[in-house]
Structure 1
Amino acid sequence: MRNAHSLDLNLMRLLIALHRLRSVSRAAEELDLSQPATSLALARLRKAIGDELFIRTSHGMLPTSRCEELVGVAEQAIKAIDVAVTKQAAFDPGTARREFVLTMPDVGEIHFLPKLAAHLAKHAPSCNLRCEQIANDQMEAALSSGQVHLALGYFPNLEGPGLLRRRLFMHSLVCLVRADHPIVKSSSVSLPTFLQLSHAVVHSVGRSNELFETLLKKQGLRRRIQLLSSHFLSVPAIIAATDLIVTVPRSIAEYYARLEKLRMVEPPINIRPYPIQQFWHTRFADDPALKWLRESTTSLFVEK
């Protein structure tokens, strides 16, 4: 490094943000800077390092080999400073201003966000919640970098040496049909009827749907999927207006049944309950604010 004396913590944070986001505008937004100020800071950084650091391409800003080398050092330095500061800084939810970043499937937002938002409004009125949709294969990196503070949901493949988790509750799946369904008239459905019906299936970032699909495949069962969607938002209206059947998490089915004239039906296949957990990275285990967030989530959702 040619001019180490000209570097400051803000430039190190900029380097880390640019490396993760690959965009000057997105880095500026994250660091609460204007885009011109961010571009000037990048120019200072390049001059101090004596390297281009990032090359503009059609796929975003790609880091140079020198940049890759420096990012690891910068992350370690920032981590050491952050840990030293957060260990001493107490978190008072009543007066603190903080944004908490969560990731969860959209179906999880229906379950978690109403209670979490109400809890913050009462106990941490100046703190905000932000939900980010993160691909499953990018979730470990997002938690490790601090892009996301907490992941909530069923993520059986979310593993890593620095990841921590706590089970909140066990969940199960149930079927939904419209209240006056012409074929399904009771609180359960037989396997032949289930397989003959037309199904709606939601494929989202969560894994509960994959659990059910894997079970069907293992048992060699096939049914007609008449509607395939990536979102849960339209499910209650669709089921209420058709003869389709859908399989969803039980708490979500209970919520949908309050919105439309729907009926919950026990599936004909034994589906084992699966764990809903919260995940975080050990880097932020001692952050008082994030510790408060995790404790709040546990108190709101853990099974008594």
Structure 2
Amino acid sequence: MNVSKIDLNLFVVFDAVYTTRNLTRASEILCITQPAVSNALARLREMFNDPLFVRTGNTMAPTPVAKRAIGPAREALRLLQTSVSANQTFEAATAEITFSFSMGDIYEAAIFPRLYPLLAGRAPNVRLNNFKVPREEVASALASGQLDFSLDGPAFHNEPDICRYLVAQDRYVLAARRNHPAVPDSIALEEFLALQHVGLLQDKEQPDQVEIAMERLGLRRNSMIQCNHLMTIPVLLMKSDLVACVPYHFCKHFDLHWCELPFEPPRLEYTLYWHLSVDQDPSHCWMREQLTEAVQNMRAAVDLAR
């Protein structure tokens, strides 16, 4: 094989098809046509003298040759990206760049209000976008560059090309309106169970973490409402005698009374994820530093005392 004639763009396509297992999805994340993906795949098959992927239902399953090739291919692409990035600098004060995130509103409500004031003073032309990408698609979106970062709990355990860093953590507390007649500065378990609660159910496959913790204790809250959006909860609390278990740092943003839960509260972890290909990119390194600084007071939240 004449190495000088190898088109590196073919390996970008190879990575996308391997990650998505789907030609249409690969074409979407690469922003090229599906025929272009098929043409690149045909050239790769000729190069390797192997089909590389075989169709199994709606999935393109990799062959043993593809499985052996993906590691070196990704490493080559990473080294190329690192080499290019090493010769770049990032001037935050004059940079005009948009960082794309995927995170739920429980993370957005905690991160963006703390991050933006830093950016406004240091990088006035840096913009932030957040749009929810299904968890099963986040890894491929990070690999393709569609996303720069994802913020989530523990995830992507089997994705070696996904970098991660625990930027912050929080704990749940019981929140209620000011002067709530049944919520003192501390509350017993029996009193807690007698209250009428608001729950947060954003995903049936990801139940409320407080509910999980209580089920382990053989307990159940008296949940009157299950909300899909975190920001609805403070409005409900301020207009009723309902209570809710919410993250401590979220509660602090509103004129709410709060007290510790009468059992060990679950931890809420804020883990930042990004793709290995941009690990050394100056702009990404800078943004990770800003995120870490913005939420540094949240890292020890589980140890805070009233």
TM-score bracket, shorter-length normalisation: 0.7 to 0.9
Q: What is the alpha-carbon distance in structure 1 between the residues aligned to residue 60 and residue 116 of structure 2?
A: 36
Equivalent of 2:257 in 251, 264, 269: 264
Q: What is the alpha-carbon distance in structure 1 between the residues aligned to residue 239 and residue 251 of structure 2?
A: 16
Output one character per residue of 1:182-222: Cα deviation in whole Å (capped at 9) or x when no partner.
x5364554432211223332245799953x34543454433
TM-score (norm 1): 0.73
Q: What is the alpha-carbon distance in structure 2 between the residues aligned to residue 41 and residue 223 of structure 1?
A: 56
Q: Quote the offset at 1:236 in angstroms.
A: 3.7
Is 1:221–2:219 an aligned residue pair? yes
Q: In the alignment, which residue of structure 1 is the partner of 2:304?
A: none
Pair 1:86–1:52, CA change in 2 (3 A): same
Q: In the alignment, which residue of structure 1 is the partner of 2:17?
A: 18
Which segment is superposed worse, 270-279 or 84-93? 270-279
Q: What is the alpha-carbon distance in structure 2 between the residues aligned to residue 20 and residue 121 of structure 1?
A: 36
Q: In the alignment, which residue of structure 1 is the partner of 2:303?
A: none
Which segment is superposed worse, 2-11 or 244-253? 2-11
Does structure 2 conserve the Cα–Cα contact (< 8 Å) formed by 1:104 and 1:153? yes
- Matched to 1:289, the amino acid is S
Does structure 2 conserve the Cα–Cα contact (< 8 Å) formed by 1:17 and 1:27? yes
Q: What is the alpha-carbon distance in structure 1 between the residues aligned to residue 115 and residue 33 of structure 2?
A: 31
Is 1:250–2:244 an aligned residue pair? no
Q: In the alignment, which residue of structure 2 is the partner of 1:108?
A: 107
Q: In the alignment, which residue of structure 2 is the partner of 1:184?
A: 182
Pair 1:120–1:42, CA change in 2 (3 A): farther
Q: What is the alpha-carbon distance in structure 1 between the residues aligned to residue 98 and residue 48 of structure 2?
A: 32
- Matched to 1:46, the amino acid is R
Q: Quote the offset at 1:245 in angstroms.
A: 2.4
Q: In the alignment, which residue of structure 2 is the partner of 1:125?
A: 125
Q: In the alignment, which residue of structure 2 is the partner of 1:300?
A: 294
* Unaligned 5+ runs, structure 1: none
- The 5 Å alignment of 1:1-304 reads 6-96=5-95, 98-117=97-116, 119-120=118-119, 123=123, 125=125, 128-133=128-133, 135=135, 149-152=148-151, 154-155=153-154, 163=163, 165-168=165-168, 170-178=169-177, 184=182, 186-204=184-202, 209-210=208-209, 212-213=210-211, 215-217=213-215, 219-239=217-237, 243-255=241-253, 257=254, 263-271=256-264, 274=267, 276-280=269-273, 283=276, 284-303=278-297
* Unaligned 5+ runs, structure 2: 299-306
Q: Quote the offset at 1:79 in angstroms.
A: 1.5
Is the partner of 1:92 in helix, strand or coil? coil
- Corresponding pairs, count: 294
Pair 1:249–1:185, CA change in 2 (3 A): closer
Does structure 1 conserve the Cα–Cα contact (< 8 Å) formed by 2:29 and 2:144? no
Q: Quote the offset at 1:146 in angstroms.
A: 7.2
Q: Quote the offset at 1:298 in angstroms.
A: 2.0
Q: In the alignment, which residue of structure 1 is the partner of 2:301?
A: none
- Matched to 1:71, the amino acid is I
Does structure 1 conserve the Cα–Cα contact (< 8 Å) formed by 2:198 and 2:244? yes
Q: What is the alpha-carbon distance in structure 2 between the residues aligned to residue 71 and residue 45 of structure 1?
A: 12
- Matched to 2:290, the amino acid is S
Pair 1:93–1:61, CA change in 2 (3 A): farther
Is the partner of 2:297 in helix, strand or coil? coil
Does structure 2 conserve the Cα–Cα contact (< 8 Å) formed by 1:167 and 1:275? no
Output one character per residue of 1:237-290: Cα deviation in whole Å (capped at 9) or x when no partner.
5545665422010222344x46xxxx4331441546847554456944432121
- Matched to 1:21, the amino acid is T
Q: What is the alpha-carbon distance in structure 2 between the residues aligned to residue 236 and residue 145 of structure 1?
A: 37
Q: Quote the offset at 1:27 in angstroms.
A: 2.4
Pair 1:128–1:48, CA change in 2 (3 A): farther
Output one character per residue of 1:149-202: Cα deviation in whole Å (capped at 9) or x when no partner.
54445539969988553544x523222335686x53645544322112233322
Does structure 1 conserve the Cα–Cα contact (< 8 Å) formed by 2:152 and 2:270? yes
- Matched to 2:110, the amino acid is H
